Each structure stands twice: as structure tokens, then as C-alpha cells.
Chains A and B, each alone.
Chain A
Amino acid sequence: MFDFLIHGFDVALTPLNLGLAFLGALLGTLFGALPGIGPINGIAILMPLAYTLGLPAESALILLAGVYTGAEYGGRMSSILLNVPGDAGAVMTTLDGHPLAKKGLAGPALGLSAVSSFVGATIAIIGLTLFAPMLAEVAVMFGPAEFFALMVFAFSSMAVMMGKDPIKTGIGAVLGVMIAMIGVDSGTGVMRYTFGMAELYDGIDFVVMIIGLFAISEILLMLEHANRSDASDEIPPVGRVMVSLKEVLSCKWAMIRSGIIGFIVGVLPGTGASVAGAVTYTTEKRISDKDNTFGTGNMRGLAAPEAGNNASAAGSFVPMLTLGIPGSGTTAVLLGALMLYNITPGPMLFTERPEVAGGLIASLYIGNIVLLALNLPLAGLFAKVLTIPRWVLVPAIAILAFVGVYQLHSDLMAIYLMLVIGIFGYLLRKLGFSLAPVILGYVLGGLMEDNLRRALSISGGDMGILWQSGISIGLWIAAVLLLVLPWLLPKLLPRKSLASA
């Protein structure tokens, strides 16, 4: 049964392919660490190179898969160090990662997130090896109605993030959903809020959105901070560099849980690392945030989304390899790369081209170990970014923001848009908003609307379709429980909770 894997390791362990896995991991980490340049661009940039060099199919795929997994590792760095997500999956990593860095724990935070990424990715790769063909069957059972129920579940799990200011969390999420409405309506082709500008037809791009909201507003806040009279603690203390074994072990369940959830989210076509990060973070907060320290630098709050987004990256290979259906934007590009080599993924890939399927999976195992080995020792080095003076750091952030957006759009309009969103983000943060609900509303809201409308056009308007399948019913019940239980449980068990308190 695992012949393809044994064969795969034979392929992946040749010097050329080992070298490529290493190169891919290194470049991927770099691409991921630079805000705005994520795995999609990294692969799109390297794909022609691999092809021009005349690499065989499995070698090219090993290089590109290394870039993909590497980018998911790298995305966390600027999240932790600068409060600017390095890529889409790393948005939730800012929530606890950056506070940890501010406390002087940047080194341990980087180390812990590297370990979490490793654990999450490993869980997902094992899942990919064992269950890929079976999961492919489950993935297609998710139709529009099931996706809608999944989004309802995701929104209700967000309720946990309401925290100290539920109204502003709500407003943030609504604003995020409203931003997602901009562009061509995918149901009818009607233009919504585009004001006749062609640049807005496709909506506001995710990268423009996160770079504007996070990076540009961060520059403005840094300026304010530098001019504050009480800016005595300008440079956060650089504490110890290595994460301790005890800290890692305290997060082991968070990593394992999030790895499994992230893998499942990744397997579903249409949901990617950003949704995985969101769902794992909120789930973990609900399960283990007993003393309400999530958002202030809780190690588990960092471990969960990192394990989750890396797991989803590996999970999105399932529909790609077994069905030929890309589970994320990045696997769509990888699929294009495979087509260059005249390889058409599908159920037959594992038997017909075992060196490709097996080689890829084996290289994921190897790349993952390479990445851990590369990232752990570097944590201390990267933590030093925090000691860079502001007059170097701020221009660097500006350069990265501009290049990131420009290389994606080749269009100045996108940069202007980024600046406008940056001012908007600055105002929101000054008014006490958290940016995470805005991003989540933006990501989930569009999916929610599209899938509700698709479901109802399938049924011809009959609402019954929304709770027809077992999967949807399960998700609806879970969503309702999430909202009701925290309120109901203390009432049902008054004495016990009092006693334990």
C-alpha cells in the first residue's frame, strides 16, 4: 500500500532533490517572511526558473512544495516581530505572537512557532499519506449548503473573540464583510460599490488589504509612539533566545488539536490557511483560555494558529493530488506547474506516477525537518530585528509593502488603495478596534454570501437545502452549541463552578 512512499523516499533522497528541498525551504521562508510576498508569488516566480533549468517533474515539484511549506513557516516572523502578517495564514499569529515579542520573548515565540509549525505540518502530512484518497471523497460532499453551515459555525466561533468590547468586535466584522462585497457579484455579475473603477471589479485584494491594514497603520503608530513623552521602553528587552522544553510541552495539545483541525480545513476546497488560522485560534481560545490571557501573549494562542496554517497547507494537497482540484490559491499554481510537465493529477496519480506523488509527499516530510532545523537556531538571530532602530525599520516596512503590492498588481491604483486602507486601519486601531475581526469578516463573509446564494439557487429558493445533509446538521448544531453553552453551562452547574472557583 505504501509502495509509492518508499519509492518516493528513494526519489527525494537523491542529492539533487535534497538540495532542492533545502533551497526551496530557504527561499520559501524568505518569501513568507516578506509581507505581501506569499507562497503564491514565490511559486509563480520560481516555476519558470525550474522549468528553464530543465528539472524533471518530481524535482521541480519538490522545489516548489518546499517553497510552499517554507512560506507558511516564514509568514509568522513578521507577524511576531512587527505585528504585520507575512502572509494570509499568519494574520491570527499577530494576536499573541506580537505581545510576546513586546514582553521580550521574541526568541522563544519564534522558536515555539517553529515547533508548532513543524507539529502541525507533520500531523497533516501523515494525514495526507494515510487518508488522501478517502478524504477526497469527503471533500466533495461539501457543497454550497455545507460551506454555508461551515461559515455560520466559523462566525459563531468568533463570538469568543468579542472580549472586552463586543460592539466594536461586531462593527469590525461587519465592516470586513462589507469590504468583501466590493466588486463583481459572483452570482449575477452586477458591479457592487465599484464606482466605475475597473481596478475594483475584482474586489479588494487580500494582500492589499492586510498590508494596508497592518503595515501602513503600524508605520503611523510607530511614529506616534516615537513622539510620545513616556517612550522610555523604546526597545523591548531582548530576553532569552531559546524556547524551553517546558513551554513547548505546555502547548502540545494546542498544537495537536490545531494540527488536526487545520488539516481538515485545508482538505476542503475553497478554504485555505487564513480560515484555518482563524478557526484554530478561536477553538483553542475556547478550550484552553481559562485565565483570559489570549491576546496578551499566551503561548497557546501562538501555537494554535501556527500549527493550523501549516497543517492546512499540507491538507490542501489532498484535493489537488487526488482529484486534480486545487484546495487553495497556492495549489492552483502548483497544479499549473504540473500541467507544464504533462502530468494530470487525479486518482490515478499514485499508481501511474508514483515517483511524483510519492516524491512530493516524501519531500514534504524532509522539507519539514529541514525547516525546523533551519528555523530554530535562527530564532535568536531574527529576534534581533526588534533592536533595529525605527529609522531603519520603518523605511524597510514601507519598501516591503510597496514592492509586495506592486509585484502583484503592476498597477499604482493598488498602492493608492493600500494607503487609503492603511489610514482606515490606523483610525480603527486608534478607536480601540482589533483588526482580526475585520480580516475574518472579510475572509468569511464573502464565502458565506456566495455559498448561501449558490445553495438557494440549486434548490430554487427552498431553504430546506441548508439543513438537508448530515454534515450541515452537525455544523448547525455545533454552531448553536458554541453560542449557547458558555451561557448555559454556568446556569446548569452553578454549585460545581462556584465550588471550583
Chain B
Amino acid sequence: MKFNSAFLRWSAPLVMGAALMTGNAHAQSDSTECIAPAKPGGGYDLTCRLAANGLQETGLIDKPMMVTYMPGGIGAVAYNHVNGVRNDDPNLIVAASTGAAVNLALGKFGQYDASEVRWLGALGVDYGAIVVKADAPWQSLGDLMEDLKKRPNQIVFGAGGTVGSQDWMKAALTAKAAGISPRKLRYVAFEGGGESLAALLGKHIEVFTGDLSELRPHLESGKVRVLAALSEERVGEPYADIPTAAEQGYDVEWPIWRGYYMGPDVSDKAYNTWETRLEKLADNEQFAKMREARGLFPMARFGDDFDSYVKKQVAQFKQLAKEVGLTQ
């Protein structure tokens, strides 16, 4: 009896709670979400926020986009999650970059490969850069390459990632362009670009293979010299004075695109809606300013064009990994 009366007394708030819950489940279904496969503050966070702030400010979505963090396995956890759990969620996009393509090529995403998701599009791109300290003996990429050929094992390279990461790839490609096996380098792996840059400023390493956008504060201070931008052609201010590697006769390019993918079983309708949204966003002038503020350069590849771009890139990386002996 006692239990019964207690039950009656508390059933009202319970019903209320249940009602609230259904309301909530309903509300969540039509709001958009971006998964950043990392902890807050990194490049993936930035990629998600670029879409979230851009789409909202240009009125392409009505409600703020939610940004969810799903760190783990350099993106593998999120990749598996989207493949396994939310494979057909029409409101979900996931941030990705060149780094994800490298990991896919190296088989670090477990059972899945690049064809398991629907690649949606890229909103911006950053480029690799070869950086030395301002008082270093090398005035141009040519100087560094000549020296590197003479004593490949003496010049200390450093960057923010381990062997096989996209940061390392830049160093490996540079060595390859000089005709040296990447295995012969002297290379130090740090945690992220910031630590490597500090090590360069403190003269603990001699060459830093970083990204253009993170160098911006240091261009003005005059403490570092950027020997080459790893872009197809020269990029705009404030990087306009930096020659590309190709101009200096070395075939090294390293674009770091920032884009998104969706689950494998998302309907064509949802996929096309997103494609149009991103295309419109990329054409928006207000958005161009936001992209620039994040240190990114324009890149507009969407839908099938982007899908084939990523798959081609992954295939290239697979080839490269074989050449340097990372995989069999």
C-alpha cells in the first residue's frame, strides 16, 4: 500500500519528465551537427566551426549547428562511429583533412578505407611550408637541398607529427625531391606545430616543416625565414613574397585541405542539400573573410569532384608509403 501511494504521488513528475524527453528527441532531429574528430582547439575544431559559424551567419541554416568532439585514433573513432552507428544521419557532417587521407592510405582507420563514406566537399586549404630560423645559413630552398645532399644525416628536421603523419610527409617529400631517401633524414617528432616552432626558435632543430597559416605571427617578427611554400602557385598577402618549391625547381606540393564527409548510407537528397549549402557558402563574400581569418586559402571542391579528389589522393599516398617503405 505504502509503495502504491508513493508511486501515485511521484507519477505526475514522471509523466512530465517523459513529455519533456519526447520534446527533446524531436527537437534534436532537425538541428545540424558537425563532429570534430579531436579534442577542442585543434584543426578539426576549427574546420567544424568554419562551417558552423559560416552557415549560420549567412543564413543557410536556421538553428546553430552543434559541434561535437570525438577524439581518438587521429579520427579513426569518428570514422568508425559514422560507419557503424550514424551511417544514414542526414544532418551530420564530419570534419576531415589531408591528415585523414594519409591515415586512410596507411590503413590506420582499421577495416574501413576511403570509399566507405561520402566525401562532401572542402571549404578551405592551407599549404605546407619549409621554415628555418632567420640566422640559418640557407637563403633558398636550393641552398638547403644542396647541403642536404652533402650531409643528409646531419641536418635536423622537426615537425608536429610522428613517422607516417602528414607533418612527416612534408619532410619526406622534401628529401625525396633532393634525391635522398626519407629514411636517411634526421627527423624529430613533436606534439603539434607549436612545440616544433618553439624548438626551431630555440635552435634545437634546424628545419621545420610546418603549415603556412601557423607562421603568420612570425613573418612580421622576422625571426624565421620561410624557404618555400608547398603550394601550386604563390599565395596572396602576407605570404606573397614566399616562393613556391616548384619555382625553385623542386617538385614538392603539400596542400592541407579542410573538408567534410557524411555517412555511407545518407540519401542523395540529403547529400545534395549539403553540397548546395557548402557551394553557396563558398561563394559568399562574408564567408571569404571568415575563412581568411582562420588562415585558410580558397578551395572549392564539392560533391563528386571532391569525392574523386580524395580517393585519388589516398591512392597517391598509398603509393608514396610503399616507396618510402612505410607499408609493404
**Complex Cα–Cα for A104 and B265 (A):** 59
Residues on the A chain within 8 Å of B190, using CB: 454
Contact A202/B67 with A143-B199, A185-B162 known, Cβ cut-off 8 Å: no
B53→A51 contact, CB < 8 A? yes
Return chain B residues, CB-CB under 8 Å to A141. Answer: 202
Q: Mark B34-56, 1 if CB is under 8 A from A, else 0.
A: 01000111100110010011001
Main secondary structure of the interface of A (DSSP, over half): helix
Q: In the complex, what residues of A have CB within 8 A of residue B109's CB?
A: 198
Whether A336 lies near B46 (C-beta < 8 A) is yes
CA distance A269 to B193 in the complex (A): 12
Decide: A199 and B294 in contact? CB cutoff 8 A. no
Known: A270-B195, A341-B293. A52 touches B220 (CB 8 A): no
Determine the residue in chain B with the shortest Cβ distance to A199.
Answer: B72
Of chain B, the residue at the smallest CB distance from A45 is B40
Chain A nearest CB: distance from B113 CB in Å?
14
B73 / chain A contacts, CB cutoff of 8 Å: 198-202
Listed A/B pairs (15) with beta-carbon separation below 8 Å? A40-B40, A44-B45, A48-B49, A52-B56, A142-B202, A187-B163, A196-B110, A199-B77, A202-B72, A205-B71, A323-B217, A325-B197, A346-B217, A347-B221, A409-B72
Whether the pair B218, A346 counts as a contact (CB closer than 8 A) is yes
Given contacts A144-B204, A205-B71, contact A270 B191 (CB under 8 A): yes
- Could you give, for residues 18-59 of chain A, a 1 whenever the CB lies within 8 Å of some chain B CB and a 0 otherwise? 000000000000000000000011011000100110000000
Q: Does B156 contact A (CB under 8 A)?
A: yes
Give min CB distance, B169 to chain A, whole Å: 12
CA distance A339 to B293 in the complex (A): 6
A198 vs B201: C-alpha distance in the bound complex, in angstroms? 35
> Given known contacts A140-B199, A409-B71, what 4 new A-B pairs fall within 8 Å (CB)?
A325-B195, A336-B41, A409-B70, A457-B186
Q: Which residues of B in the span 187-211 have a Cβ within 8 Å of any Cβ on A?
A: 187-192, 194-195, 197-199, 201-205
Q: Which of A142, A339, A411 contacts B295 (CB 8 A)?
A: A339
> How far, in whole Å, are A186 and B186 apart by their CA atoms in the complex?
15
Listed in ascending order, the chain A residues whose CB lies under 8 Å from chain B are: 40-41, 43-44, 48, 51-52, 139-145, 184-189, 196, 198-202, 205, 269-270, 319, 323-326, 329, 332-333, 335-336, 339-342, 344-348, 407-411, 413, 450, 454, 457-458, 460
Q: Is B68 an interface residue (CB 8 A)?
A: yes
B residues contacting the other copy or chain, number (CB 8 A) = 60
A329 touches B41 (CB 8 A): yes
A-B pair count, CB < 8 Å, reads 155
Question: Is B40 a contact of A348 with CB atoms below 8 Å?
Answer: no
Output the least CB separation between A341 and chain B (Å).
7
Q: Which residues of B sit under 8 angstroms from A199, Cβ to Cβ? A: 72-73, 77
Most chain B CB within 10 A, of A200, A201, A345, A413, is at A201
B201 touches A323 (CB 8 A): yes
Asked if B140 is at the interface of the complex by the 8 Å CB criterion, the answer is no
CB closest chain-A residue, reference B52: A48
Q: Are A344 and B202 in contact (CB under 8 A)?
A: no
Asked whether B104 is an interface residue with its Cβ less than 8 Å from the other chain, the reply is no
CB-CB < 8 A to B204: which residues of A?
143-145, 458
In the complex, A52→B56 CA distance in Å? 9
Q: For A139, what are the chain B residues with a Cβ–Cβ distance below 8 Å?
A: 198
| 9 A-B pairs closest in CB distance | A346-B217, A143-B204, A44-B40, A140-B202, A201-B73, A198-B73, A333-B41, A198-B76, A324-B217
Of all chain A residues, the one with the shortest Cβ separation from B160 is: A186
Interfacial chain A residues near B87, Cβ < 8 Å:
none
Determine if B91 is an interface residue (Cβ-Cβ < 8 Å).
Answer: no
Question: Are A411 and B40 in contact, with the CB atoms below 8 A?
Answer: no
Nearest Cβ in chain A — how far from B250, in angstroms? 25
- Whether a CB of chain A sits under 8 angstroms from the CB of B164 is yes
Cβ distance B256 to chain A, nearest Cβ, rounded Å: 16
> Do residues B221 and A198 form an inter-chain contact, with CB atoms below 8 A?
no
- Report the minimal beta-carbon distance from A198 to chain B, rounded to whole angstroms: 4
**A202 contacts B46, C-beta separation under 8 Å:** no
B188 and A454 contact, CB distance less than 8 A: yes
Q: What residues on A are CB-neighbors of B108 within 8 Å?
A: 201
With a CB–CB cut-off of 8 A, which chain A residues contact B188?
144, 454, 457-458
Which A-chain residue is minimally distant from B238 (CB atoms)?
A344
Q: How far is the CB of A396 from chain B (nearest CB, A)?
A: 18
User: With a CB–CB cut-off of 8 A, which chain B residues contact A460?
Assistant: 153, 186
The reply on B239 being an interface residue by CB < 8 A is no
Name the one of B68, B110, B162 contacting A186, with C-beta atoms under 8 angstroms: B162
Q: Is B74 an interface residue (CB 8 A)?
A: yes
Provide the residues of chain B in CB contact with A187, threshold 8 Å: 162-163, 189
Min CB–CB distance B120 → chain A (angstroms)? 20
B74 proximity list for chain A (CB < 8 A): 184, 201-202
Give the residue among B40, B45, B56, B218 with the most A Cβ atoms within 10 A.
Answer: B40
The answer to the question of B216 belonging to the interface, with a C-beta cut-off of 8 Å to chain A, is yes
Nearest-neighbor residue (CB-CB) of B218 within chain A: A346
B322 vs chain A, min Cβ distance (A): 16
Whether A346 and B220, one on each chain, are in contact in the complex, defined by CB atoms closer than 8 angstroms, is yes
Shortest C-beta distance, B51 to chain A (Å), equals: 12
Task: Decide if A189 touches B164 in the complex (CB within 8 Å).
Answer: yes
- Asked whether A189 lies within 8 Å of B163 as measured between CB atoms, the reply is yes
The residue in chain B whose Cβ has the minimal distance to the Cβ of A333 is: B41
> B61 to nearest A CB, angstroms?
13
Report the separation of the CA atoms of residues A128 and B163 in the bound assembly, to the nearest whole angstrom. Answer: 37
Residues in chain A near residue B56, CB distance under 8 A? 52
Task: Specify which chain A residues have a CB less than 8 angstroms from the CB of B221 in the assembled complex.
Answer: 346-348
Cβ distance B74 to chain A, nearest Cβ, rounded Å: 6
- B46, B108, B188, B216: residue with the most chain A Cβ atoms closer than 10 Å: B188
* Nearest chain B residue, comparing its CB with the CB of A140: B202
Given contacts A144-B199, A188-B162, A319-B198, contact A201 B76 (CB under 8 A): yes
Q: How far is the CA of A202 from the CA of B110 in the complex (A)?
A: 14
Known: A186-B191, A189-B165. Contact between A140 and B69, CB under 8 A? no
Contact A201-B198, Cβ < 8 Å, known A457-B187, A458-B205: no
Collect the chain B residues with CB atoms within 8 Å of residue A186's CB: 162, 189, 191
Q: Shortest beta-carbon distance, A184 to chain B, in Å? A: 7
A304 to chain B, nearest CB (A): 28
**Chain A residue at minimal CB-CB distance from B163:** A189
> What string of 1s and 0s marks CB contacts (under 8 Å) between B12-41 and chain A?
000000000000000000000001000111
List, in ascending order, chain A residues with CB within 8 A of B189's CB: 186-187, 454
Which of B49, B68, B162, B195 meets A189, CB within 8 Å?
B162
Nearest CB to that of B222 among chain A residues?
Answer: A347
CA–CA, A186 and B195, complex, Å: 13
Q: Tell whether, in the assembled complex, residue A344 and residue B41 are in contact, meaning their CB atoms are under 8 Å apart.
A: no
A142–B199 Cα gap in the complex (Å)?
A: 8
Nearest neighbor of A201 in chain B, beta-carbon distance: B73
Chain B residues with Cβ below 8 Å from A342 are: 292-293
Which A residues are CB-close (under 8 A) to B69? 44, 407-410
The reply to whether A336 and B45 form a contact with Cβ atoms under 8 Å apart is yes
Q: Cα distance A501–B39 when bound, in Å?
A: 54
Complex-state Cα separation, A198 to B83, whole angstroms: 14
A40:B186 contact, CB within 8 angstroms:
no
- Which residues of chain B have C-beta atoms less than 8 A from A143's C-beta? 199, 202-204
Q: Chain A nearest CB: distance from B195 CB in Å? A: 6
Q: Is the CB of A323 within 8 A of B198?
A: yes
Pick the residue among A43, A198, A348, A454 that contacts B80 (CB under 8 A).
Answer: A198
